[in-house]
């Protein structure tokens, strides 16, 4: 299953926002991971976790 299909399924079940495009999400995750090698203080996993948490629909 591709990223777009996963996003569609999650949005369809009401778990996440429905206005998220798979390409935007993947570019965002990729950009967050760019600084990992150059700075040991940079925690890309934590930032990706925050990004994914932000996809959740407001309750």
The reported pTM is 0.74
Q: Residue 28 domain-assigned?
A: yes
Q: Residue 14 domain-assigned?
A: yes
Q: Which domain holds residue 30?
A: 3-53
Q: Residue 38 domain-assigned?
A: yes
Give the per-residue pLDDT at 20: 87
Q: Residue 59 domain-assigned?
A: no
Number of domains in the chain: 1
Give the per-residue pLDDT at 27: 94
The answer to whether 57 touches 51, Cβ cutoff 8 Å, is: no
Give the per-residue pLDDT at 25: 92
Q: Residue 58 domain-assigned?
A: no
Query: What's the CA dihedral at 10, 16, 21, 22 to 10 degrees?
Result: -50
Q: Residue 41 domain-assigned?
A: yes
Q: For the chain, 59 residues long, give each residue's pLDDT as a single digit of tens.
A: 799 999 999 999 999 999 989 999 999 999 988 877 888 899 999 988 989 888 887 76
Give the per-residue pLDDT at 39: 85
Give the per-residue pLDDT at 1: 74
């Amino acid at each position: 299953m591709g990223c777009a299909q996963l996003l569609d399924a999650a949005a369809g079940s009401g778990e996440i926002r429905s206005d998220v495009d798979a390409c935007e999400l993947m570019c965002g995750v990729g950009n967050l991971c760019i600084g990992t090698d150059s700075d040991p203080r940079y925690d890309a996993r934590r930032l990706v976790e925050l990004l994914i948490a932000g996809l959740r629909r407001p309750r």
